[in-house]
Each structure stands twice: as structure tokens, then as C-alpha cells.
Amino acid sequence: MAIQQSETAHAGRKAGILIVLCLLFVAGCSKQEKETGVLSVNKQRIVFDNPAAGETAQAVLHIEASRDWTVQYQFGNGHECHLSARSGTAGACDLIVETPEINTGRELRNIGQLAVFLNDGSASETVSLMQRPATVRQTLLMYFCGTELYHYYKTNLNDVAKALGKNFMPLGRIVAFTQPEAQKGYVVEYRYDEETNACRRDTLIRYSPLPGHTTDPETMAAILSEMADLAPAERYGLHLASHAKGWLPASVEGTSLLRRLSATGTGDLWRKAPGAVETRWFGHDRGRYMNITELADAIDATGIHFDYLLFDACFMSSVEALYDLRNSAAYIVASPCEVMGHGFPYDTAIPTLFTEEGAGYDLTALCKSYYDYYANTDSYNSGCIAMTVCSELDALADAMRALNAGATKSVDVSALQSYDGMKEHQFYDLENYALELTDDPALAEQFVSRMERCFPVAARFHTAQFYSVYNNRMNDIGYYSGVTTYAPATTYQADWQQTAWHAATKQGAAAAPAK
């Protein structure tokens, strides 16, 4: 009997242990279930645009929750914000958030936050609510000129849209002009859309017909002015894309000049080699071309002194062209050689133009993004780029004039670095040429010092070779200062001697006035 009682007691103890284990398991499961509540939102910040009068700016917040949830608008401090729902059940929900307010300041304005939480308190998220100013810090005006490169322009603008898949520039705006057909043009704003979480393209102006050729100074000035008016900003940058030939006069494209050059055996200078791929230059629309002085006049007519000019066009880092444009902007980014048809890699370039949430820009980083693309990604490893500090161009002209006055050497032109594939070169490296003029180390040092201030070394980038359509091959780069001159060339000497650069740098020219 004693043995039986012991077995019964033992069985009871086992049953008790099992009950305790079950209770602990149930409690653990309950605790685990509470801890694993899932809540997620697709953004931690919403930045509203400024709505038109009587309308609201809207955004969409995507919520996914494993249980019932609630959302609260907090810390509004008198601001107005409306929600399409205040609560929801397990699953996915698109919450519409809107405000009728307009931000008249110059900073991002905090208009409150959303607190989203599971009703059992196991998970929560916070979303800040901001609004960009009606007048932003900077607007980039993009002017894609002519129709010949339009298929490349479409790719460029798709890359802009790709970059704007994230809201990294609430203090900046991008407005682009394109000309898909001879008589049609569009001005479109590219911006991040809080409703779709993607780039949105808003057509601001439709030109049909265009008011004139897009290479006419008056037409260009009018279009750029309208673009700026529609995207008001404290500062502006200007992007220009087309074909170009540096400083060379528009008459180079005239049939009479081509006939004259043919008579002298040089008429094939600008003829592409068979099988050559597409590159860019500046200023062509339906047979109309633009002188650089006319471009400067068009920019001046807008009444805007641009922070920078960005040329997605061939040969525009030409000192003669840059000197004509020195009063148009603070900085100029351009290539001394041909630009491949693809142009800039806008998906990586655009973020460099809108740093600090769109308030700033980094042109050195822009130049590097251009180089990185052509050095590592494009099938043609041909990419040369440099930045010009326009305020230093007059001092550079003074240094060049001193070199010309003290020239003691004849220059072996055949030994100079050129940046074109023509039979008779038209674009030579400026520093390479200038240093061949003298044996005077003081003059040489002064010139190099001025070059480094005018064309900062940190913003000079080049691949080992450059491609040219004029010989359809890669050409070596042995010397690179990032800027060209026409001085040692001969074909267009009469035209070159009419340039402002020649007038400022020839022997006997007056020094630039002190600033």
C-alpha cells in the first residue's frame, strides 16, 4: 500500500509540473504574440508643396499593420492638416494627408507630426510633416535645344526622373525646356511627388508653334525668363544642351564658308568620319546657329546672373567662349573636347546640384560624376570636364597678355595637346600652349598660378583618351589643363582676332580694371 501511495504522489507531481509548463507556455506565447506586432510606414518625413489658392497639397502615407492601429496629428502649433482616416484594421492602408497652407518663408517649415501606433501599444512610428517654401533656394533651368538630339534628351530626362525618385531636394526645383518637333516645345517641371512616391512631370507651358528658333537670342531669353517666372527661386543654375563648336562663329556652318573652305582644301574639316557615333555641340535649330556673344546676350536679357552654367555640349571649355560668358554666371562647367551623345549621367549628376536638401550645389562633385560615368560605365571611355571660376578670367587674360609680350620661343604646334580629331586641329590645350611661349620661369609660374585659380585642379577630370567623330577613334591625352585655346590654329585666324579674348591678351592691350 505504501508503494502505491508513493506512485500516486509521483504521478500527481508530474501532472502539476505539466500544468505549470503549459501555463508558462501559454504566457510565453501571449508575450511573444504581443512583442511581434508589426507596424511599418513607407516614409519618416513628408514634405508638402505649396497648393494653389483654394486647394490643398496632398501626400500619401502607406501603412502596413498586423493589428488595429490609430494615427494622431500632433504638435501642429496652429497649423492645419487633414487625414483621410484616424484608425484602421490589420492590413495595408494608404492614408491621404493634406494641408491648405502656404509657406511664405525661406526655410522648410515644420507643421507637425503624425504618430501611428498599434492599439495594443506594441509598436509605433512617427512621421514628421514639413512644407517647402513657395520661393525655393535654387531652381535649375534646363534648356535642351533643337530636335536632332531629342532621343538622347528623352533618356537624359528619364535619368532626371530616376534621381527624383527620392525627395532629397525640397529646397530646389528643376524646370526643363525641350523641343520634340520643329515647331513645338514644352516646359515641364520635374519634382518628387509625395502622393506617388515617385517623380512627377508637370507641363507648365506648351508652345505650338514656338515663338521662333530656339537659337534666336530673343526667343531663348523669352523662354528662359518664362521658365524662371514659373519656378521662383533665390538663385538659378542654367543647363544648356545641344551641338556646339566652342567659340567658333556661327558662320562656320554657313554654306558660303564651307564652299570657300572647299576651294582651299579644308572644307572637310567638320565632316564626320564614316561610321562615327553621335557627339554634341551647341546651338542648332532648323539650320539656325548661335554665336557665343549672342548666347551671352540672351542670358543677360533674362536679368538673371546665374550661379553656374552647365554645358552638355562639345568644346565649350574654350577660353575664348568662356571669356565671352564671364559675366553670365559665377561658374561654368564644360568639356574641352567632344561630349558623347549620352551627355551627362543625370541620375548621379542631379544630386550634386542639389546638396543640403536643395539649398546648395557641389560642382566639383558634378565634374567627378561625369568622369566616373565615362571612366567606368560608358562603352566609350571618353570623358573630359572642368570647372571655370568666371571671376578669375580677367586676371588670367592679364597673365596671358604678359606671356604674349614676353614670348621668346616659337611653338611647335604639332607637339601640342589637341582636343579634336580633325586634319587641322582647332582646339589646343591652353596651358600647354602658353608655357611653350617662354623660358621665363616667373612668367610661367604666374600663368600656372592663375590657371589653377581659374580652373581649380580638384575639378579637372579626364579619361586617358577622348573620342572624336572627326577621325572616329580614341585619341591620347598627354597634357590636360581642362581648357582650350585657338591661338596656335590658323583656319579661322581672322575670326579669332575679332574675339574679346584676343583683344584682352594681345601685346599692347590694356589690363583688365581692378575689381
Q: What is the pLDDT of residue 6?
A: 47
- From edge to edge, which strands make up the β-sheet containing 461-462? 198-207, 184-193, 172-181, 136-144, 233-241, 306-312, 329-334, 384-389, 461-462
**DSSP string of 261-302, one letter each residue:** HHHTT-TTTTPPPTTPPPEE-S-EETTEE--HHHHHHHHHHT
Instruction: Evaluate whether the domain defined by 39-131 bears CATH number 1.20.1440.20.
Output: no
- Cβ atoms 233, 139 nearer than 8 A: yes
Predicted pLDDT at 244: 83
- Three cell numbers, residue 189: 517641371
pLDDT digits (tens, 9 = 90+) for 319-350: 999 999 999 999 999 999 999 989 999 999 99
For 65, the grid coordinates are 499593420
Region 89-111: mean pLDDT is 96
pLDDT tops 60 at residue 417: yes
Helices H, strands E: what count in the chain? 13, 26
| pLDDT for residue 492 is more than 60 | yes
- Cα 53 versus chain centre, distance: 31
pLDDT in tens, 351-398: 999 999 999 999 999 999 999 999 999 989 999 999 999 999 999 999
Q: Is the pLDDT of residue 132 over 50?
A: yes
Residue 77 pLDDT: 87
**Selection from 159, 157, 63 nearest residue 115 by Cα:** 63
pLDDT at 65 over 80: yes
Cα distance between residue 295 and residue 483, in whole Å? 19
- Cell numbers for 418, please give them: 589637341
Q: What percent of the chain has pLDDT over 70?
A: 84
- 515 pLDDT band, cuts 50/70/90, is very low
pLDDT value of residue 80: 94
Residue-range domain boundaries for the chain: 39-131, 136-505
- Between residues 258 and 48, the one the model is more confident about: 48
* Residue 47 pLDDT greater than 90, yes or no: yes
- Convert the pLDDT of each residue in 282-321 to its tens digit: 455 666 778 899 999 999 999 999 999 999 999 999 999 9
pTM across the whole model = 0.87
Res 257 pLDDT > 90: no
3-state SS assignment for residue 43 = coil
**pLDDT value, residue 261:** 45
- Structure confidence at residue 287 (pLDDT): 66
Q: Residue 509 has what pLDDT?
A: 62
Res 245: pLDDT:
85
Q: Which residue has the cell 556646339?
A: 244
Hunting for cell 495594443 — which residue is that?
120
pLDDT value for 264: 45
Residue 74 has pLDDT above 70, yes or no: yes
* Cα dihedral sign, 49-50-52-53: positive
Higher-pLDDT residue of 25 and 87 is 87
Beta bridge partners of 368: none
Instruction: Determine the average pLDDT of the residues in 389-412.
Output: 95
What does the pLDDT look like over 141-153, one tens digit per residue?
A: 999 998 888 999 9
The predicted-structure confidence for 220-245, as pLDDT tens digits, reads as follows 999 999 999 999 999 999 999 988 88
Dump pLDDT digits (tens) for 429-456. 999 999 999 999 999 999 999 999 999 9
> What is the model's pLDDT at position 288?
73
CB-CB contact of 150 with 280 (8 Å): no
